[in-house]
Amino acid sequence: MAKSLPVSPLASSLPALGVVPGVRLGAVAAGIRYHGRTDLVVAEFIEGTTVAGVFTQSKCPGAPVDWSRKALTGGSARALVVNAGNANVFTGQAGVETCRITAIAEAGLAGCSPQEVFLASTGVIGEILPADRITKALPELHAGLSETGWEDAARGIMTTDTFPKAALRKVEIEGVSVTIQGIAKGSGMIAPDMATMLGFVATDASLPAPVLQTLLARGITGSFNSITVDSDTSTSDMVLLFATGYAGNRIISSADDPALAAFRDALNGLLLDLALMVVRDGEGATKQIKITVNSAVSNASAREVAKAIANSPLVKTAVAGEDANWGRVVMAVGKSGEPADRDRLSIAIGGVIIARDGTVVEGYDETPVVAHMKGREIDIVVDLGLGNGTATMWSCDLTHGYIDINGSYRS
């Protein structure tokens, strides 16, 4: 049984969640790994629900990732089954069989094809996931499915998370009111390479699967693909976006249609909210770090520089120690492999420019920076002085708490 972890000091409170017409959810304790808490979640969708998905780029993905990737080709979804505590990764043919049995069992209860059932798992790698623990729990789960089951679902997918993560947006498409609501889990093994966590978002908007896919793929660039906790990309993770069509808006055939402008903004905002909750629940984290890189040769180059800073253990431990050690930021810029000129570089922390033109700013007063470093949200801005490229990444500090959690993860 996993130890109960103290709630992150950066924890976000759950918003007042609503419902997404056409979606029912629930969670139950199936005893997959944890005892005394829910660990199996089901969401069911009305007929006609479309789906989009993005998946980990790990070369060693779990069986549920393979299953859901294949299911995505159909473009429609009727159910989602998620378990916590066991990732069903590196489990050979047994893992594939667990997916098949689970999908068939859920399809029988939902009245759909197994190819319309999406699967996700999170937890320990390399342990066989017994299918019977899932299939035995599914009937009870179905009896309790509810439109208001979002909070239960958010709690049921947690592993080392210390708080449940959910976000809500209300928006209009050509005067028709639609809802977007989502949940996520993630705390460790978090690095930008598609998703590196689990996220499930649903809307009652009516949108074709190709449009959904474009919106989601674009949306993760500035959200889930712009966060890192420990530079490790998971084998298991995915973000799925479901559209039930219940709102009845006009079908829109292009993601670039101006009629979707407000919806795009709302979706992107929701994805960023969920992603930042993951950073704020980083294992052992006490501070959130925002890294902005400006004036790079391109946006892609700026992103690589920001990633090098965000992933640097030396930068992250300096932040944990409340030390404005800008030299470590210079180091991270230099190791990124991207174009940089020491004598054009400038660095600001908490809005105060510390270093510029290859050296420390003359007369630099560290007092406001020291005060900023004692806060919980740290802001680092790097200007490379080379071009127009810009990027932002979010990370967290690295404390002994990370070692404590991961050193005893399986015990």
Low-confidence stretches of the chain (pLDDT beneath 50): 1-2, 411
Q: Tell me, what's the pLDDT at 86?
A: 95
One domain for residues 272 and 355: no
Dump pLDDT digits (tens) for 378-399: 999 999 999 999 999 999 999 9
In 211-350, DSSP assigns E strands to 238-243, 288-296, 346-349
Catalogue the active-site residues. Answer: 196
* Structure token pair of residue 272: 């960023």
Dump pLDDT digits (tens) for 147-192: 999 999 999 999 889 999 999 999 999 999 999 999 999 887 777 6
Q: Is 177 annotated as a binding residue?
A: no
CB atoms within 10 A of CB 69: 15
Question: How far is residue 174 from each of residues 128, 216, 250, 257, 262, measured CA to CA in Å?
Answer: 49, 20, 8, 11, 10
Q: Is 388 annotated as a binding residue?
A: no
One domain for residues 276 and 351: no
For residue 18, being part of any structural domain is answered with no
Residue type at 60?
A: C
One domain for residues 297 and 244: no
State the Cα–Cα distance between residues 236 and 102, nearest whole angstrom.
17
One domain for residues 260 and 375: no
Q: Tell me, what's the pLDDT at 348?
A: 97
Q: Tell me, what's the pLDDT at 188?
A: 78
State the Cα–Cα distance between residues 241 and 244, nearest whole angstrom.
10
One domain for residues 218 and 119: yes
For residue 242, being part of any structural domain is answered with yes
Q: Tell me, what's the pLDDT at 1?
A: 42
Would the pTM count as exceeding 0.85?
yes
One domain for residues 235 and 294: no
State the Cα–Cα distance between residues 10 and 12, nearest whole angstrom.
7
Final residue of a structural domain among 247, 280, 313 = 280
One domain for residues 194 and 80: yes
Q: Write the DSSP string, 34-97.
A: -SSS--EEEEEE-TT-EEEEEE---SS--HHHHHHHHHHTT-B-SEEEEEEEE---S-HHHHHH
Residue 246 belongs to domain with CATH number:
3.60.70.12
Provide the greatest CA pair distance for the chain: 72
Residue 396 belongs to domain with CATH number:
3.10.20.340
Domain that holds residue 311: 288-407
For residue 208, being part of any structural domain is answered with yes
* Structure token pair of residue 77: 């979804």
Give the number of domains in the chain.
2
CB 315 within 8 A of CB 329: yes
One domain for residues 325 and 393: yes
One domain for residues 306 and 167: no
One domain for residues 50 and 195: yes
Q: Is 159 annotated as a binding residue?
A: yes
Q: Tell me, what's the pLDDT at 3?
A: 57
- Of 167, 173, 134, 128, nearest to 151 (Cα)? 167
State the Cα–Cα distance between residues 144 and 25, nearest whole angstrom.
8
One domain for residues 213 and 139: yes
For residue 392, being part of any structural domain is answered with yes
One domain for residues 224 and 293: no
Q: Is 70 annotated as a binding residue?
A: no
Q: Is 254 annotated as a binding residue?
A: no
Final residue of a structural domain among 236, 260, 280 = 280
